């Protein structure tokens, strides 16, 4: 007896004693998971700092950012500057967040880009130094003004501009330190903040 594929499928369902809903659930459970399915399963997000050595040419940064935006990847921080003028090489430092699978996808896709020479996950090396610079403007008089100066001294922030009603502090350090300093300045009259983003370098005598 001949029949269509759908008829044979229905017969198999009946013989196995499953209804269609149970079969659909079983099939869904056996499907291979993409990175996005993994995120739906609540895989823990991780924050990684990536150092990317690229050819310093027009459009490279736009292509790197396009890779992230086109695939919905997150950028927490991004810095870029030419580091070897005679070789026309630039270093892009990206702080990104995602599941381990998404982080690996990001590194693989960056590594395949033509102007990219090398991608290093500074977080996985465990031997890197990360620093960020911020300029923090605070407006106030009286006790809040005195308190902002006291806190700036405790955090080793430097006054780079001062008026009778405001200060601009320059602070350098780990991102967590800068975040804490800014949060303490909020009730004292925080006006605005300008941050460079994270720069990272490996410890020891070896380069990338």
- Considering the domain architecture, whether residues 101 and 141 belong to the same structural domain is answered as no
Give the rounded distance of the alpha carbon of 152 from its chain centre: 28
Looking up residue 178, the CATH number of its domain turns out to be 3.30.70.1150
Give the C-alpha separation, 107 to 51, whole Å: 10
Maximal CA-CA distance, the chain: 96
Domain C-terminal end among 125, 147, 164? 125
- Tens of pLDDT, residues 82-94: 998 888 899 999 9
5 lies in some domain: no
- Considering the domain architecture, whether residues 116 and 132 belong to the same structural domain is answered as no
Q: What's the number of domains the chain is made of? A: 2
pLDDT at residue 9, as a whole number: 43
Domain C-terminal end among 125, 155, 190? 125
- Considering the domain architecture, whether residues 70 and 83 belong to the same structural domain is answered as yes
Reduced to 3 states, what is the DSSP secondary structure of residue 198?
coil
pLDDT at residue 44, as a whole number: 87
- Considering the domain architecture, whether residues 187 and 134 belong to the same structural domain is answered as yes
pLDDT at residue 41, as a whole number: 52
25 lies in some domain: no
> Which residues, in sequence order, are CB contacts of 140 under 8 Å at separation 6+?
148, 165, 166, 188, 189
Give the C-alpha separation, 95 to 48, whole Å: 6
17 lies in some domain: no
Domain C-terminal end among 125, 150, 184? 125
For 85, half-sphere exposure in the C-beta direction (CA atoms, 13 angstrom radius) is 0
- Considering the domain architecture, whether residues 83 and 115 belong to the same structural domain is answered as yes
- Tens of pLDDT, residues 20-72: 444 444 444 444 344 444 445 567 899 999 999 999 989 999 999 999 999 89
pLDDT at residue 26, as a whole number: 44
Other beta carbons within 10 Å of 151: 17
> What does the block give as tokens for 104?
């690996």
What pTM does this model have?
0.73
Mean pLDDT of the chain: 84
Reduced to 3 states, what is the DSSP secondary structure of residue 178?
helix
Question: Residue 120: pLDDT band by 50, 70, 90 thresholds?
Answer: very high
Report the share of the chain in percent with pLDDT over 90: 68
- Tens of pLDDT, residues 162-186: 999 999 999 999 999 999 999 999 9
160: domain range?
A: 128-202
Q: Tell whether the model's pLDDT for residue 111 goes beyond 70.
A: yes
> Which residues, in sequence order, are CB contacts of 106 under 8 Å at separation 6+?
50, 67, 68, 73, 96, 98
DSSP state of 196: -
Q: Which of 73, 74, 59 is nearest to 113 (CA)?
A: 59
- Considering the domain architecture, whether residues 112 and 132 belong to the same structural domain is answered as no
Q: What share of the chain is helix, strand, coil (3-state, %, to 5)?
A: 40, 35, 25
pLDDT at residue 42, as a whole number: 64
């Amino acid at each position: 007896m001949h029949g269509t594929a759908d008829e044979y499928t229905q017969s198999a369902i009946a013989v196995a004693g499953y209804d269609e809903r149970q079969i659909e659930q079983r099939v869904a459970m056996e499907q291979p998971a993409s990175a996005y399915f993994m995120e739906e399963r609540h895989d823990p997000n991780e924050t990684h700092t990536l150092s990317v050595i690229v050819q310093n040419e027009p459009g490279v940064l736009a292509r790197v950012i396009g890779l992230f935006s086109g695939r919905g990847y997150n950028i927490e921080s991004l810095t870029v500057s030419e580091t070897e003028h005679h070789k026309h090489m630039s270093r892009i430092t990206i702080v990104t967040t995602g599941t381990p699978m998404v982080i690996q996808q990001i590194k693989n896709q960056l590594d395949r880009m033509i102007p990219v020479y090398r991608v290093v996950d500074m977080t996985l090396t465990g031997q890197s130094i990360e620093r960020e610079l911020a300029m923090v403007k605070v407006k106030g008089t009286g006790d809040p003004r005195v308190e902002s100066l006291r806190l700036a001294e405790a955090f080793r922030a430097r006054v780079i501009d001062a008026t009778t009603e405001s200060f601009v502090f320059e602070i350098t350090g780990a991102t967590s330190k800068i975040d804490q300093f800014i949060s303490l300045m909020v009730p004292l009259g925080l006006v605005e903040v300008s941050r460079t983003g994270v720069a990272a370098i490996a410890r020891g005598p070896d380069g990338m």
